[in-house]
Structure 1
Amino acid sequence: MRMTRLSNLTTSLLLFFLWLPDSQIFCKFVDWCVWDPCRSCLRRTRRDIFLAALVLGLLYLASTRTHGWPSVDHRRDSSAYAAIESHADTRVHQTLSAATSRSEIASTPTSLSNATTVCTHFVFRPSDPSTTKAAIDCFRARPIRVVRLFATDPQTTTLLSHKTARGFEMNLNRHRINITFPVDWHMNPFKDRSWRMWLHSLKDMIGPSLRAYEMHPENPSYLLLAKAFAMDWCGKFGHTRPTRWASLPPPWVGTAAFATREYIWYDMAVSSRAVLLMGLLHFGAHAGPEIMSEHEFAELATCQREQALFLAAQDTYFWTNHGLFADTALFLVSQSMPWIHPDGSNWTDVAAVRFAKNVGNLIDTASGVHKEHSVSYQGAMINLIALTDQLGLLNRTALGSDILVRMRQALGWMLTPDDAQPVPFVGDTSLEEFLNVAKPQHEDGLAPQSFPPVGLAIVKQLSTQSHLFMTAWFYSCTHKHADELSFVLTEFGRQLIVDPGKFAHVNTDPNRMYALSPQAHNGVTVDKSPYTACREFGKPYGSAIRLATTHDGFTIFAGDNPLLATHQRVHHTRILVYKPSKLLVVIDHLEPNDTETMHSYTRRFHYAENVALVKDANTSKSYNAYFGPKGDGADPELAAKVEDWSRTANQTRLSLVKARVKPALQGWIYPLLRKRVPAYVSEQTTPARGSIILVTAMKIARPAGLDRSPDPLPSAKLLKPVTWQRNIIGTPFYNIELQLDGIPFRMKVKP
């Protein structure tokens, strides 16, 4: 190191003295240090010495220059815009033949070990053209293959041309928008934070082009549009990587964290970008310099290094499902581009260690349930874990591929036997996010006993296509709804009781606030429960399911609601007594700390969009549910009859609501993202002081196509009011006596 600095100093001093226009200082230097006869010779050869020193100095500086971000002049068009103007359709077609033959040769499969050997003998430096060429050769030694971390929107494939420079339409996160160059990366036309994140992820800008080139390698012009987007983003933001935003507290403005508020460096966007840039560099190397020059490759590779450094850093890592995506992306970069950074080959171990620890936190290995409160994310995690299994990341952990089997079995329990639509809208779930999830086999009977400790209770009867799914779980605020003790119900292959779904990740939107609230779920609210953000819920309680068992052909679930006890000082225990295809009895025991205060308790059942509710003409304590073409269609078919079996039934006010906007949203579900669909909800409101037991019975009607008695409804009633008491050690238990189809049943339930 000292010799290097000395050499650098000597060269600089020599250049300084030789460069002076006035040679007097040089002559004095020569007079002082050189024997007199040689002075005239040295003066005559001063210019020769200067030229030699200049050449040596430049060579030295070129060989020792530290790598950095290539300068970008934002006052002129970047190479992304220049590419649009220079690659017109005629230019594209002129380069097809040469690039095609190159792609065919490069796509010959090569073993991963050989490719890795080629890639580990150098480190990429933007200032060194030889490392750029080596990186290109490394990619050309690998077969053409797209790795999809996230699904892309369907796109009309657009070739780069003069037309695209003037703007064109494309799908971005399920919205059709007009795009022009330079791209306005700060646009937010839908006031949707998820949309902004996916904009910066580049998945719908680069992904379709990579897919098109993978399917048609004879036409590398598909890559030009993807390259234009990547060059535009990298030229503006590639050098702005924050280093500690995950650990910085508010205020955000003025800190390194502020960039994430724009979702420029949001972790999921970075994971997506890293995989897409890797694919673009890979395919660009195959397509040749006519499609991606060495200079463009170096710029994008430098941008890619910033993405990888973000993913590798501990202070920008989140221990949620986002971290699993980050580890997968980092593993891919480390495996395919170990030359991107001196630590590039070590990132494989970094990703594997974090991934194993994070999976252990997020997924219950006994049941295979992903603990982020949503059916959609159970499916998404199955897809991600399956991808890591294919890539070899899962094999580097102690988890093993058995976890995939258990996760798929858990999803099989969660899905309903509804032939038309098997996805229950539990938690942050929407149909679009489930399109790319392979449907597992349905399970029959009571779900394994590993489910209640996670916060789920599920039973299925495939002979009648019946399904009951109850939740009471809280592990974090990730995709958490206030759905304690809520349930969904499917009978004879048709969803009857449903949860609301996701709407969108726009927490300030009234629809999102409603979807998260207890009023949107099938539980009990006390008084006028205001919307409460999850961060105010308190400490996560894990599971509140206390019982899941069978007795005399009935399935019995029980649990409590810790949030109600914490925030409103009311202890709530719910018991479901269920005979598939015949009867569901919902027992709610509410016991306030203050026995003198009058409270108002509201039970809600939310119905599928094709179900209509009609009050019973003979009594105000019951109503009928009908299946119709659109909920209110002609020739309705009886689905169920709901009765109030409570002692306080006469004091209960029954309301049937649909598509209400004011004073508060009610009677809406969100099966698709950002799409509000009207659906009926029943509200049974009962005022009471002190302890109260509310009993709601749903008699399930048999469909018209099945053999049945003249009355499609079963005969059912309570023989005695439901009572409760405590045993010697203070544990409560409930006495339930009912009659179904003339047969009495007696149960003592201890949650």
Structure 2
Amino acid sequence: MNPPVDWEKAASPNRAWNFHFHSWDFLSCVLAAHDRTGEPRYLSWAVQVVCDWARCHPQVAPGMAWYDTAIGLRGYRLGYVVERAARSEHVGDADLTLLLRCAELHLEALSDDRFFAPHSNHGFYVAAGQLALTRRLRGLPGLGMHRRQARERVRQLVRTQFTPGGIHREHSPGYHLVAAATFQKLLDTGLVGEEEFRPMLDRIQEALAWFVLPNGRLAMFGDTSHVSVLREEQPHIADPALTFAVTGGTRGKAPNDRWRSFPEAGYFIARDRWPKGPEDYADCSYLAQTAAFHSRTHKHADDLSMVWYDRGHEILVDAGKFGYLDQTTPDSDLGRAGFPYAHPSRVYVESTRAHNTVEIDGASYQRRGVTPYGSGIRRAGEHRGILYCGTHVRHNRTIRHARTLALLPGEWLLVHDWLWDTAERPHTYTQRFHFAPELDLSPVGDRFAADLPDTSRLHVVPLLPATALPPVKGQREPDLLGWISRRDGELRPCWTSAYQIAGEPSCSISTLMAFGRKAPEPGLSTVDKQGERVCLRWAHEGEDWTLSFGRPDRKDFYFHMEREAVPYEPTPLQRVVDWMRERLPVLPGDGLAEESRRESTAGRLYSRR
């Protein structure tokens, strides 16, 4: 790319590309090469490009060129070019004057509160760009005010964007990662004080470790891509827990707890254990639930959704990001419904039906014109090896929604939803689950089954009466359904199942997902209309299970489990087989009959009638 450049048309068809273009992302490798080698040709080309951009943008104006984040990202690149150009004998006075004027224009924009969004991660880029630019130009007069303003902005951002527990409030672990990395660089470069900000950064990094799945990918809540965070070296991470998570257990130290609730942020995360090291890193169970609504920023209509990883595979997945395409206007139908982008695939991944939660009347949860509830986490704990979480939120002002998750790692996951419209209006409630594209789902009556790549079998069984809808994969008409976006701009088909109750103001839907050769058999389960007393029963793999719990938002909440081995009671044919085995002679050197007896005896202990 050689100047002159048509800056307005070169990348304008794609919003994301246009943003990166005006952020000068392409300059990073060139400036790094100059910093490493000192060769004038790298700086000379960068000066030509920056001067060309400056001539085309002599003043602040609407458009991507003066988008808040783009200004911030350009700030530290511009600062490097100006500083090095001022010291170079290969840069003429005219170019240097233009560069200084461009830097002054950026300082004016960065100091303007209209470009500073303290509620968004964009604010971090603006404050960081302001700090970096003032540091590079520290010999110029009048920069003290900019430095003080930028540092105070960082303090404000830490207070508003992160919970006291270190969770980023933008509903997306991917942006938590980006904000944490930006914060770390501010500390590493000395742009902010170590003593003041290090304790908070430690909490931010430690919290982020919980969002790393056993396969090294981030939980795909909100606008988080399906990317691996595993790296052999992580020089910019100080926290031992995050170091352990992103190096695959080769460095750092795992947290001591196997579950963590973030009640202020609205997340619950559970594991069967943390691995000992890289050898068993991927061999863990993992469940994460989101019950967060702090603002509309990167917020999907995904209240109470979850992702689940078990037996070495992703099981339940989130829809992903897809991309930011075709902005809506506030007065459009999509805009009024809370969708900031109009591309059909983007609308789908944001929609309620694309997540592992309950869809009401075929519509998405409202995100505009409603007050964010903050966190829906009400209960969390562990009981006899079962990890559980209880959440409660309201939809459309009058519909109450309580969800209880119970996980026995490596064995089963129970999802119980209670919904009630206090206005007693009837609704259609659809509990949806989305399975990883590697799994092949098939209907079996009112149940579903999926074979995992390692020959394990997952059974999906309703414990309360509900209508099983046909499973869907890669549907385009009449609406998108059964897709996941693991890469920007790409949708990939995946199976989705659903249970539905229609024409009722209130309902309870309870689904058990269990591993095993045979499907669990539902027992006599009961639940009252108010969802305050739930008793779910089933039999599986030679054991009877009873799980009882209350409604998570009530003070008298309880959680109790009972399991009982079922005595072996053979069928008439099995009685004949056992009788014959008991009378088989044991020949010298032949342990076959004895082995048969041992297998038969073991069968009595673990088989179910």
Which TM-score band (shorter chain)?
Answer: 0.7 to 0.9
- Give the conservation status (yes or no) of the 8 Å contact 2:463–2:538: no
- Determine if the alignment matches structure 1 residue 452 to structure 2 residue 263: yes
Deviation at 1:716, TM superposition (A): 4.6
Aligned in 2, Cα 1:551/1:313: closer, same or farther, shift over 3 Å? same
CA pair 364-531 structure 1, distance change in 2 beyond 3 A: closer
**1:687 correspondence with 2:502:** yes
Residues 455, 473 of structure 1: 8 Å contact kept: yes
Structure 1 residues 530 and 460, CA gap change in structure 2 (3 angstroms): closer
The change in CA–CA distance for 1:349 and 1:229 in structure 2 (over 3 A counts) is same
Find the counterpart in structure 1 of residue 187 from structure 2: 389
Give the 3 Å change call, closer, same or farther, for CA 547–331 of structure 1 in structure 2.
Answer: same
Aligned pair 1:723/2:557, yes or no? no
Distance in 1 between residues matched to 2:54 and 2:388, nearest whole Å: 57
Task: For residue 429 of structure 1, report the CA deviation from its aligned partner.
Answer: 0.7
Tell me whether 1:417 sits opposite 2:214 in the alignment: yes
Q: 1:558 aligned to 2:390?
A: yes
How far off is 1:372 after superposition? Answer: 0.6
Higher helix share: 1
1:669-680 counterparts in 2 under 5 A? 669-680=484-495
Structure 2: how far apart are the matches of 1:479 and 1:397?
Answer: 31
Q: Contact between 2:357 and 2:432, CA under 8 Å: does it hold in 1?
A: yes
Structure 2 residue aligned with 1:202:
24
- Per-residue CA deviations over 1:629-687 (Å, capped at 9, x if unaligned) read xxxxxxx73341101111x23xx032211111111111111111112222111122332
Q: Give the structure 1 partner of residue 146 of structure 2.
A: 347
Pairwise CA distance, 1:190: 6.7
Could you tell me which residue of structure 2 aligns to residue 322 of structure 1?
A: 122
Shift of 1:743: 5.0
How much does 1:401 deviate? 0.7
Q: Return closer, same or farther for 1:227/1:214 CA change in 2, 3 Å cut-off.
A: same
Q: What amino acid is the match of 1:538?
A: V
Give the drift of 1:554: 1.0
Partner of 1:621: 446
The one-letter amino acid of 1:605's match is F
2:303 is aligned to 484
Q: Which of 119, 125, 138 is matched with 1:338 structurally?
A: 138
| SS across alignment from 2:32 | helix
The alpha-carbon deviation at position 718 of structure 1 amounts to: 4.9
Distance 1:594 1:586 in 2: 25
Structure 2 counterpart SS, 1:519? helix
Aligned equivalents of 2:136, 2:11: Cα separation in 1 = 36
Is the alpha carbon distance of 1:306 and 1:339 closer, same or farther for their aligned partners in structure 2, counting shifts above 3 Å? farther
Alpha-carbon distance change, 362 to 694 in structure 1, aligned in 2, over 3 angstroms = same
- Give the drift of 1:352: 1.0
1:405 counterpart = 2:209:
no
Q: Distance in 1 between matches of 2:4 and 2:32?
A: 24
User: Aligned AA for 2:314?
Assistant: Q
Partner residue of 1:234? 54
* Aligned amino acid, residue 354 of structure 2: A
Provide closer, same or farther for how the CA distance between residues 573 and 750 of structure 1 changes in structure 2, counting only shifts above 3 A.
closer
Give the residue type in structure 1 aligned to 2:209. G
On the 8 A contact 1:411/1:440 being kept in 2, the answer is: no
Closer/same/farther in 2, CA of residues 195 and 500 from structure 1, 3 Å limit? same
1:525 aligns to what? 359
User: Which digits, 9 at most, give the CA deviation of each residue in 1:163-212, with x for residues without a partner?
Assistant: x55xxxxxxxxxxxxxxx432222275733222222211121x2221012
Deviation at 1:596, TM superposition (A): 5.8
Question: 2:483 is matched with which residue?
Answer: 668
CA distance in structure 1 between the aligned counterparts of 2:15 and 2:288, rounded to whole angstroms: 31
Residue 225 of structure 2 contacts residue 487 of structure 2 at CA under 8 Å; is this kept in 1?
A: yes
In structure 2, relative to structure 1, the CA distance for the partners of 1:433 and 1:479 (3 Å cut) is: farther
Give 1:605 shift: 0.8
TM-score (norm 1): 0.64
Q: Aligned in 2, Cα 1:505/1:531: closer, same or farther, shift over 3 Å?
A: farther
What is the one-letter code of the residue matched to 2:221?
A: V
| CA deviations over 1:260-286 (Å, ceiling 9, x no partner) | 3x2121110101111111111233344
Matched letter for residue 329 of structure 1 = G
Counterpart Cα distance in 2 of 1:733 and 1:298: 75
Instruction: Find out whether 1:298 has 2:97 as its counterpart.
Output: yes
Q: Conserved in 2, the CA contact under 8 Å of 1:356 and 1:397? A: no
Task: Report the counterpart of residue 215 of structure 1 in structure 2.
Answer: 36
Q: Distance in 2 between matches of 1:397 and 1:350?
A: 19
Amino acid at match of 1:700: F
CA shift at 1:445, angstroms? 4.3
1:602 to 409, 424, 430: 430
Matched, 1:505 2:327: no
Structure 1 residues 188 and 732: CA distance shift in structure 2, 3 A: farther
- State the TM-score, normalized to the length of structure 2: 0.78
Cα displacement string for residues 586-639 of structure 1 (whole angstroms, at most 9, x for unaligned residues) = 111121234363x222111111121111122xxx211111234xxxxxxx7334
**Paired amino acid for 2:385:** G
- The 1-side partners of 2:230 and 2:386 are apart by 34
Kept in 1, the 8 Å contact 2:462–2:522? The answer is no
How far has the Cα of 1:461 moved from its partner? 1.3
Mark the CA change 1:444 to 1:586 in structure 2 (over 3 Å): closer, same or farther. farther
User: SS in structure 1 opposite 2:382?
Assistant: strand
Change in CA separation of 1:613 and 1:725 when aligned onto 2, cut-off 3 Å: closer
Q: Which moved more, 1:306-315 or 1:375-384?
A: 306-315
User: How big is each residue's C-alpha offset from its partner over 1:401-429, in whole Å with a ceiling of 9 and x where there is no partner?
Assistant: 122222222111111112xx522211101
Partner of 2:413: 584
Tell me, in whole angstroms, the C-alpha distance in 2 between the residues paired with 1:338 and 1:222: 24
CA RMSD between the two structures: 2.5
Larger radius of gyration: 1
2:558 alignment counterpart: none
1:4 aligns with: none
TM-superposed CA distance for 1:736, in Å, is 4.3
Give the equivalent residue in structure 2 for 1:284. 85
- Counterpart of 1:495? 314
Aligned-pair CA distance for 1:742: 1.6
Over 3 Å counting, the alpha-carbon distance change for 1:530 and 1:747 in structure 2 is: closer
Whole-Å separation in 2 of the counterparts to 1:277 and 1:190: 22
**Cα contact 2:417–2:508 (8 A) shared by 1:** yes
Q: Distance in 2 between matches of 1:403 and 1:313?
A: 27
Tell me how far 1:215 sits from its aligned partner. Answer: 2.6
8 Å contact 1:465–1:491 — kept in the other structure? Answer: yes
- Mapped contact 2:226–2:320 kept (Cα < 8 A): no
Deviations 1:708-746 (A, max 9, x none): xxx4x6x755543241476xxxx9453445556525444
Deviation at 1:537, TM superposition (A): 4.9
**Corresponding residue for residue 640 of structure 1:** 458
Give aligned-pair identity as a percent: 26
Distance 1:404 1:396 in 2: 10
Deviation at 1:531, TM superposition (A): 8.0
Distance across 2 between alignment mates of 1:478 and 1:434: 23
State the partner residue of 1:547.
Answer: 379
How far apart, in 1, do the equivalents of 2:176 and 2:53 lie? 32
Q: Which runs of 5+ in 1 are unaligned?
A: 1-163, 166-180, 242-258, 629-635, 702-710
Provide the secondary structure at the position in 1 that maps to 2:135: helix
For the 8 Å contact 2:220–2:317, the answer to whether it is kept is yes
Give, in angstroms, the shift of residue 573 of structure 1.
1.1
Cα distance change on mapping 1:725 and 1:555 into 2, 3 Å: farther
Residue number among 712, 731, 734 corresponding to 2:534 in the alignment = 734
**Distance in structure 1 (CA, Å) of the matches to 2:534 and 2:468:** 26
Q: How does 1:45-84 map to 2 (within 5 A)?
A: none
For 1:469 and 1:530, locate their aligned partners in 2 and report how far apart those are by CA, in whole Å: 21
CA distance, structure 2, for counterparts of residue 736 and residue 653 of structure 1? 19
Alpha-carbon distance change, 474 to 188 in structure 1, aligned in 2, over 3 angstroms: farther
Instruction: Give the secondary-structure state (helix, strand or coil) at the position aligned to 2:406.
Output: strand
| SS of the residue 2:456 aligns to | strand
Q: Which residue of 1 aligns with 2:8?
A: 186
Looking at structure 2, the residues matched to 445 and 688 of structure 1 have their Cα atoms a distance apart, in angstroms, of 43
Distance in 2 of aligned mates of 1:314 and 1:698: 51
